[in-house]
Chain A
Amino acid sequence: MAMDSGIEQHLAAGRHARAFDLVVPAYKDRVFRLAYSILKERAAAEDAAQETFVRIWKALPGFDGRAALGTWIYAITRNTCLMELRRRRPTVSFDDPDSTEAQHAAASIASGPAADPERDNLLRLVDTLPRNQQEAVRLFYLEDRSYETVAEQLGMPLGTVKNLLHRARKRLMELARPDEVKAA
């Protein structure tokens, strides 16, 4: 990112406050979207983004430049979100899409009534995917379908992200099919 070179110049000169002033506008939206893709709630994602930037502010003087600035920032964001997830009460996990709970939820969601049935069904079907697939799907469409951006933000190789998204979309197509087609 071109902005990063300016930030890194300030960091190299020890002007950490000035660097931080550039970090926030350059990264706040992506940090927020990454947090949202993990936490699935706007308010929680905004809180996590705040916490992330506080951590960055504290840690910036120790940033040694061994990793790219964006990689470092997204790692802090993911850690902040994972701590928030751990802090929350454990709920039924749908990480295994073949689990009884996931299949039951998917079936009831696909057939249940809703105010905006198609949209609600789709969103709920996304929620039945394994967590890493959910994160990749949300982030992919938030980031204008950029595999590279998703890979950078999730800290995964490009091929892994493509694979995750392929499996997620295939699964969503299967879940969204009418029952008679599934039976065939």
Chain B
Amino acid sequence: MNDPTLIGPCADYEHDLVDLHDGTLAPDRAGVVRRHLEACPRCWDWQAEFAILESRLTADLPRPELSPTFDAKLQDRLATLARPPVRSNLRAALEHEHDSLLDTLRRGARRRAVLGALGSAAATLCALAAARGLLAQGVGLLPSVAEGPERWLMLGIAGVVMAVAALGWSAGRNGVPTLGLLR
């Protein structure tokens, strides 16, 4: 068991020697290990070598400390995270452009709707006027305030022309449904 050419402790005592050094070995087992140590040069040498290594590791391994500014730096980082993100100039410009484009489209759609409605109203009025002229000429129901049938006929024709023109213009601006005929 105590062959001097071997290096290292007896296998049965290796872990116990470490625990004995750490002070974590049960008292009864510690007594057994101490008695073995007195009789075993290999284990004695190994535990002496182990104790030297322990003291060197304890003394020589670096023991760095946190810098005093650690807390302040951390608070700065957390404050940055808590603030709403600042938009970059490019992103702000793009969003402004997007917003103004949407606004223009909305205004254009409103204007087209208004013009379409006006055109439709004018066309309707003209159509009614033309119909009234045709009826007055053909049936003779108009009162005597009229100065002559030709006048009503001219007004009617003008009304129809205007109505057709207004409808055509509105359809060209997508102001009235065209059922896909203009596509």
Mask: chain A, 115-141; 1 = CB below 8 Å from B; 0 = not: 000110011001000000000011001
Whether A166 and B5, one on each chain, are in contact in the complex, defined by CB atoms closer than 8 angstroms, is no
Contacts of A50 in B (CB 8 A): 70, 73-74, 77
Judged by a CB distance under 8 angstroms, whether B81 is at the interface is: yes
8 Å CB interface, B75-96 against A:
77-78, 81
What is the CB-to-nearest-CB distance from A33 to chain B, in angstroms, rounded to a whole number?
8
Q: Report the Cα distance A32→B64, complex, angstroms.
A: 9
Binds A, one of B28-36, B55-63, B117-125, B158-166: B55-63
**In the complex, are the beta carbons of A176 and B70 less than 8 A apart?**
no
Q: Could you tell me if B57 and A137 are in contact, using CB atoms closer than 8 angstroms?
A: yes
**Complex contact A32–B74 (CB within 8 A):** no
Q: Which residue of B lies closest to A36 (CB)?
A: B64
A18 sits at the interface (CB 8 A): no
Say whether B144 faces chain A, with CB atoms less than 8 Å apart.
no
Shortest B10–chain A CB gap in Å is 14
Task: Judge if B71 is at the interface, Cβ distance under 8 Å.
Answer: yes
**CB-based contact A122/B57 at 8 Å:** yes
Q: Which one of A119, A142, A184 contacts B60 once the chains associate, using CB atoms below 8 Å? A: A119
Q: How large is the interface on B (under 10, 10 to 19, 20 to 34, 35 or more residues)?
A: 20 to 34
Count of A residues near B, CB < 8 Å?
A: 34
Taking a contact as CB atoms under 8 Å apart, the answer to whether B61 and A169 are in contact is: no
B53 at the interface (CB under 8 A from A): yes
Task: Name which of A45, A118, A169 has the most chain B CB atoms within 10 A of its CB.
Answer: A169
Q: How far is the CA of A32 from the CA of B71 in the complex (A)?
A: 12
> Which of B15, B49, B70 makes the CB contact (< 8 A) with A28?
B70
Q: Name A's B-contacting residues (CB within 8 A).
A: 24, 28-29, 32, 36, 42, 45-46, 49-50, 53-54, 57-58, 118-119, 122-123, 126, 137-138, 141-142, 145, 147, 166, 169-170, 172-173, 176-177, 181, 184
Instruction: A28-B66, A46-B66, A170-B8 given; name 15 further pairs at CB < 8 Å.
Output: A28-B71, A45-B64, A46-B67, A46-B70, A49-B70, A50-B74, A54-B74, A57-B81, A123-B61, A126-B57, A138-B61, A141-B57, A141-B63, A169-B54, A176-B53
